Amino acid sequence: MRRVVAVFRTHLWLRRFGAASAVMLIVLSFIFFSYRLLWRGKIFPGISISGIAIGGLSPERANEILSNRSAEFLESPLSLSYDEQRWTIEPSQLSLSYELSLSVRAAYLSGRNEAFFGLPPLLGILEEGKDLPLRYTLDEQVLESSISAVASAVNVPSIPPSLEVLAAPDPQTHSRIKVEAGEAGLQLDVSSLRRTLHERFFTLSQEPVVLRAISLNSSDAAIDPALTTMRAERLLDRTVVLSYAENSHEALRWELTGEEIVHFLSFDGGFDTEKIASYSATLAESIDRQPVNATFAFRDGRVVEFSPEQNGLTINTSGTTDALTRTFSELEMSEEPEMTLSLPVSVTLAQISTSEVNNLGIRELLGRGVTTFHGSIANREHNIALAASRVNGVLIAPGEVFSFNATVGDISAATGYRQAYIIKEGRTILDDGGGVCQVSTTLFRAALEAGLPISERTAHSYRVSYYEQNSKPGFDATVFAPRVDLKILNDTPGHLLIQTETDTAANTLVFEIYGTSDGRVSSIANHRVWDVSPPPPDLYQDDPTLPAGSVKQVDWKAWGAKVKFDYSVSRDGATIYEKTFYSNFRPWQSVFLRGTGSI
C-alpha cells in the first residue's frame, strides 16, 4: 500500500513540474517574440560592427553610417613608420572594398537566427553586447608586394664572422690571419605587420602603424678572435691530399692547401660542417657520373665508331663530410704537415667493356696528347680538323710502323685543304695545308706518353707559338711529304687505335692512343734550353683577304734556341727504349698580315 502511495505522489509531482515548465516556456517564448516584435526591422540593441554602434538602427541607416565611415577610410592613406623611415599604403592600390550589405545583414540576423533557441544568444547580446567584423575584400598579392617592399627597406642582413688570409703579415698583428666578428641584423616582423594591417582594415582605424623589427644575431657573434687566429695559423702550412681510384691503374689526387682548409674553421672551436657538406656536394658534381658502355665499329680497315667503357662513379657525400671533418681535426692536433684522405667513391661497372666489343687488343687508354691553337685563322683551323680526321680511327697492327704522311695522304686543294700560312724555305707563305703540323705535333706528344718508339721525328726550323701555348719548347714534330715524316712503331702486344678530337671553339686538339698495356711507363727528363738568341725585327706581309688598313698578327716572335730532352721507356724497372730528342730553332720574328683588300 505504501509503495502505491509513493508512486502516486511521484507521478503527481512530475505532472506539476511539467505544468510549471510549460508555463515558463510559454512566458519565455512570449518575452522572446515580444522583444523581436518590438525591434522588428531594426538591429537588436548592443550590436556593433568593428566598434561602430548600430544597435537599434534599421539596416538601411546602419549601412549609411558604415558607408560614410568606410568611404572616409578608403580616401586616406595608411601611414607606416620605423625609426626615421616612413611609408604610406593607399587602400585603393590594394583594391580594398567593403561588403557593407553582408556585414549589416549579419548584424541584423544576430539573435534572430533561430526561433526559441535564439533566446540564449539574445540574452548574451543584451548583457554584454556583440561586436561583429566589417567584411572586406582586397588583392592579397598586392598587399604582400607592399609588405615585401617595406621589409626590404627595413631588413638588415646579419653578417657572420669572417676569416681572411692576407698575402703578407699584418704590420700590427704580424699575422696573415685576419678575423672579424659578425654583425647583428634586423628583420621586419612581417606576421605582426600583416595582422595589424588587417586589423586597421576591418576597424577602419587610421592610427599610424609603428613597425616592429626582430634582431637577428650573427650565428657566431660571440667569438674569440685570438683563438681562431691561433688555430688558423697552425693550419696555414698544412695540406690535405684528396684521392680516389677511378680505375685499377691510377688514383686521381689533388690538394687542399692550408689557405683553403682554414676557411672550414668554425668560430666556436670546431669546424663548420655546413661548409664542409657544401664542399662535399661540389665534389659530387665533378666526380659523379653514370656508367657508359663501350662501342666499337670496324669498316674498310678503319675504326669508324669507338668509345671506351666508362665506369660510373658515386661519392658518398655524407661520408665525405664526416671524413673531411675528422681529417681536419686530426691535422690540427697533429704535428704532421700533410695528411691523405681517400674519398669514399664507389664504382659501378659498365655492362659492356672495351675488351668485349673487339678482339684486336683495344682495351685501355695508353697515351694522350693535347695542343692548342689560339689565334689561328679560319683556314688553318679547317686544315687541322681535316688532317686530324684522316688519322682518326686508324689501327696500327703489332710490329707495324705508322707513317703520318702515308696515313694523311696528299695535302692539297684537291683533297680539301685550304691555304694557310706555313714556314717554307725560311719564309711564312700561304700554301695548302697550313696547320697540318699541329696534328703531327699532337700525335707525337700522345706517342711519347704511350711509351712508343719514335722511329722518325723532325723539329721545326723555328719555334712556333702554337706549340708552346701549353708546352715547353721542343715537343713538336714537323711533316712535309715526301721528305719529312713522323713515324711511330707499335711494339705492344696488341693493335693500337688512334682517336682524335678537334674543338675549334676552344682551339684544342686531342689525340688518344688506345691498346693493351704491357706495364710500360714513359718518362721525360733533362729538358734543357741553351744558346738563346733574340728574334729579328717584326715582319709585315700583304694579305688581299683582309680589308685595307687592317693589321692582323698571325705569328709571334720567338727567340732562337737549342733544346733537348731525354725520353725513356721502362717496364718492371728495366729500360726497354730510350732516345734523346734535339731541336735547333732559329730566331723568328713576329709576323703581321697587312690588309690590301677592299673595305
- Give the residue among 357, 324, 326 at the shortest CA–CA distance from 343: 324
Q: Which of 25-29, 325-329, 354-358, 556-560 has the lowest mean pLDDT?
A: 25-29
Which of 68-77, 333-342, 352-361, 474-483 shows the lowest per-residue confidence on average (mean pLDDT)?
Answer: 352-361
Q: Which residues contact 40 (CB under 8 A, 6 or more apart)?
A: none
Over residues 497-536, the pLDDT tens digits come to: 999 999 999 999 999 999 999 999 999 999 999 999 998 8
Top mean pLDDT of 7-21, 45-59, 420-434 is at: 45-59
Report the pLDDT value the prediction gives residue 369, as an integer from 0 to 100.
96
In this prediction, residue 116 has a pLDDT band, given cuts at 50, 70 and 90, of: very low
- The Cα–Cα gap between 282 and 343 comes to 13
- Measured from the Cβ of residue 9, the count of other Cβ atoms closer than 10 Å reads 10
Q: What is the H or E stretch that residue 321 is in?
A: helix 317-333
Band (pLDDT 50/70/90 cuts) for residue 117 is: very low
Output the CATH code of domain 227-355: 3.10.20.800
Q: Which three cell numbers stand for residue 401?
A: 710502323
* C-alpha grid cell, residue 46: 548592443
Residue 390: per-residue pLDDT: 92
568 Cβ contact partners less than 8 Å away, ≥ 6 residues apart: 522, 523, 525, 575, 577, 578
pLDDT of 302 higher than 60: yes
Could you tell me which residues come within 8 angstroms of residue 213 by beta carbon, excluding any fewer than 6 positions away? 82, 154, 155, 186, 187, 188, 189
Given a cut of 80, whether residue 432 has pLDDT beyond it is: no
Calculate mean pLDDT across residues 143-155: 93
Average pLDDT, the chain: 86
User: Which pLDDT tens digit goes with each residue over 178-198?
Assistant: 988 888 889 999 999 999 999
Tell me the C-alpha distance between 87 and 78, whole Å: 8
Each residue's pLDDT tens digit, 260-272: 999 999 988 889 9
Higher pLDDT, 18 or 341: 341
Which pLDDT does position 493 carry in this prediction? Answer: 92
- Grid coordinates in use for 117? 533557441
